[in-house]
Amino acid sequence: MTGAPSGSRAAARGRSDPMGHRPLRGGPVAARSRVSAGPGFPVTDDLDLGPGSGDHHSGGGEGGSDMPGAPLYDSIGGTYTLTRRTEPRIAARIWAALGDARTVVNVGAGTGSYEPPDRDVIAVEPSALMRAQRPAGAAPCVAASAEDLPFEDGSFDAAMAVSTVHHWRDPIAGLREMRRVARRVVVFTFDGGDAQWRQRFWLIRDYLPEIAGLLAGKPPLAELARAIGARTEPVPIPWDCADGFFEAYWRRPEAYLDERVRRGLSAWTAVGPEAERRAVRDLRADLDSGRWAERNRDLLSLDAAELGLRLLIA
């Protein structure tokens, strides 16, 4: 998300209590240091955080790097907002899937992309660096992990998670937590267990096969869906996708040569510098020689590609 949301969270900003009177599990002591309003969203005195609550910030207390998911983005998240932003066509699919939900918790929220501007949102993000990049006017943010959401049962109309499940220590536990705190669950993810997905996307097939190893042992999409009783819907990626996630540049291969693009993608860090250097070298050579275009000529006329991205809706 690159700026303050338009048409924004008026209800959230106008309330005296940005948590909407939803109790954090464990009471005031557990709640202390977990709520980070982010720039431009002061933590109000009405939040029952106990003595000293006024001096807490996004890097304090329980929001440290020991939480699942925090260490990776605490190390690579500094340039995230340069290339990662809301893709409106994907956002429309996610927001439509939320149905009539008025209160939403965004789990693994990062900087706040895809948070619906016309609903009452609470964000959950374990990384202090990512929380610090949330824009002015963003929804209030709790420092917590998906596997242990600090909310009572049924606190929200809907829970959403976007491009984050693959980072969770225990995806099944995280999804069940989302189901516990909300009557509706919407997750944007990919089917990493699908061998055809790995073959369809040329970056993995021809240049970065190490990605398959990173996904070993992760639960397949069908197992994730079963855990919460979800249906799945494919999400095609437009050729000019505004959000620079891993598959976004499927028709713009030269983008992967850009260091800034790669630094916004956790996969490049995860495979290690040697694999990254080899993949970039080989891709550059194939672009220069025309081999990439020859191998992937069937993609060049497509406006959107089906590369395994899915919505889980429960």
Mean pLDDT for back-to-back runs of 10 residues, the chain (314 residues): 36 40 48 38 28 29 46 48 81 98 97 95 94 92 96 98 92 98 97 72 95 83 96 97 95 96 90 97 99 97 95 98
pLDDT of residue 29: 30
How far is the C-alpha of 63 from the C-alpha of 125, rounded, in Å? 8
How far is the C-alpha of 126 from the C-alpha of 131, rounded, in Å? 8
DSSP run (H or E) holding 311 = strand 309-313
Q: Are 40 and 4 in contact (CB under 8 A)?
A: yes
- Nearest residue to 109 via CA among 87, 138, 88: 138
Q: Which amino acid is at 240?
A: D
pLDDT of residue 121: 98
For 108-145, the pLDDT digits (tens) are 999 899 999 999 999 999 999 889 989 999 999 999 99
**Torsion over CA: 156, 171, 98, 19 (sign):** positive
Angle at 158 between CA 18 and CA 161, to 5 degrees: 95
Report domain extents, the chain.
Answer: 10-192+214-238+303-313
- Output the six-digit token pair for 92: 């429309």
pLDDT of residue 85: 81
Whether the model clears a pTM of 0.85, i.e. scores above it, the answer is no
End-to-end CA distance of the chain: 25
CATH number, span 10-192+214-238+303-313 = 3.40.50.150
pLDDT of residue 101: 98
**Percent share of the chain, pLDDT over 70:** 72
pLDDT of residue 21: 42
